[in-house]
């Protein structure tokens, strides 16, 4: 029988072991540009080794089919990786604590379309999980020398059952 994962709402407190939630609610706000622009300051902190630079990319994720089997996780030991949705669509965030050099049991978070995440360096996570339709994300991560990707395949899959992801 498959190990079924529970999907929980994404919150700063629940996601704290893995990184930072990027959202304007509760963020430091200051007015700039002669009062015409709201700046939500320092939503996350990019982590980079001394040989990397921060880059900004656009990812277009294809929607996943459910039930979905989580069979692998990845991590980036040399830098953090931030995802912020552009299309205001819900998406899933999957992360796991390190268990002696491999990912532990995944935790699944449902992010609404105005929430992003910043995975700290070396945090196990699943690749991008768009829901319902193709979705675009602004991504800030590391470019540079060195191997910044490690992947792990679970011996048995974990399952995320289907739900109404439009909520």
Digit-coded pLDDT (tens) for 127-164: 999 999 999 999 999 999 999 999 999 999 999 998 77
pLDDT in tens, 10-48: 999 999 999 999 998 888 998 989 888 989 988 998 999
| Domain locations in the chain as residue ranges | 3-160
pTM: 0.91
Element (H, E) at 14: helix 12-15
pLDDT of residue 115: 97
Assign a CATH topology to domain 3-160.
Answer: Jelly Rolls (2.60.120)
């Amino acid at each position: 029988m498959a190990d079924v994962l529970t999907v929980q709402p994404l919150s700063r407190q629940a996601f704290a072991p893995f990184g930072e939630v990027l959202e304007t609610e509760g963020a430091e706000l200051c007015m700039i540009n002669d009062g015409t622009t709201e700046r939500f300051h320092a939503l996350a902190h990019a982590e980079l080794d001394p040989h990397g630079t921060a880059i900004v990319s656009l990812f277009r994720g294809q929607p996943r089919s459910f039930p979905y089997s989580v069979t692998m996780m990845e991590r980036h030991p040399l830098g953090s990786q931030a995802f912020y949705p552009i299309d205001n669509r819900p998406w899933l965030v999957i992360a796991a604590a390190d268990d002696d050099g491999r990912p532990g049991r995944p935790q699944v978070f449902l992010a609404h379309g105005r929430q992003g995440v910043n995975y700290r360096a070396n945090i196990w996570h699943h690749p991008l999980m768009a829901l319902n339709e193709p979705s675009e994300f602004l991504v800030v991560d590391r470019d540079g020398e060195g191997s910044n990707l490690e992947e792990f395949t679970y011996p048995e899959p974990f399952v995320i059952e289907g739900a109404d992801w439009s909520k």
